[in-house]
Amino acid sequence: MRKNALWLILVVIAALIQTTWLKAIAIRGVEPNLILVLVVYFAIASGEERGMFTGVLGGAFQDVSGASILGHHVVCLVLVGYGVGRLTTRLITEHPAVKVAVVFTAALTNGLLYTFIEYVQSPGSNPISKILAGVIPATFYTALLSPVVFLLVYLVEQRLGRAKPKPRGATP
């Protein structure tokens, strides 16, 4: 119960930070995706179910706070959470470079899925320019931010969650 409450609090705080303060560290309008980093963290640490639940909750926050149609972020983040959770059962995710590579791949996949969904709904848009100007820079920015977020979440879980066993692949 305590672990679930801590997870919920972490996701809500991250969603609030994502929707309010991350605009302050945007570089040329490109923001990192903090929710995606948490989806990947929990998918690695606790499996695909926790990653998918993180995607549902965080994606709902992003959908409600943004100008997108409800469900776009949720669908993309749930698919990414499931994929990362399944993939990391076959990877050794102890090394930080592997975690950054997983976050990079997840962020790129998330951006491409989201762009594809937008393009299907309004075919007149130009998805290539959106990918080149928004998705790829945000992917790099998110991957660069991920080690710091992974470390902070791990330390909060250790301090407040009093977790006895080490989460699967969650060491900084």
Residue 169 lies in a domain: no
The residue segments making up the domain with residue 81 are: 2-22+30-161
Residue 124 lies in a domain: yes
Residue 60 lies in a domain: yes
Total domain count, the chain: 1
Residue 67 lies in a domain: yes
Long-range residue pairs from 107-112, CB within 8 A, at least 24 positions apart, any chain: 107/33, 107/36, 107/138, 107/139, 107/142, 107/143, 108/135, 108/136, 108/139, 109/79, 109/80, 109/83, 110/33, 110/36, 110/76, 110/77, 110/80, 111/135, 111/136, 111/138, 111/139
Residue 170 lies in a domain: no
Residue 171 lies in a domain: no
Residue 74 lies in a domain: yes
| 168 has pLDDT over 70 | no
Q: State pLDDT tens for residues 6-37.
A: 999 999 999 999 888 888 888 888 999 999 99
Q: State pLDDT tens for residues 89-144.
A: 888 878 889 999 999 999 999 999 999 998 998 888 889 999 999 999 999 999 99
| CATH number for position 70 | 1.10.1760.20
Give the pTM. 0.88
Q: Which residue has the higher pLDDT, 4 or 82?
A: 82
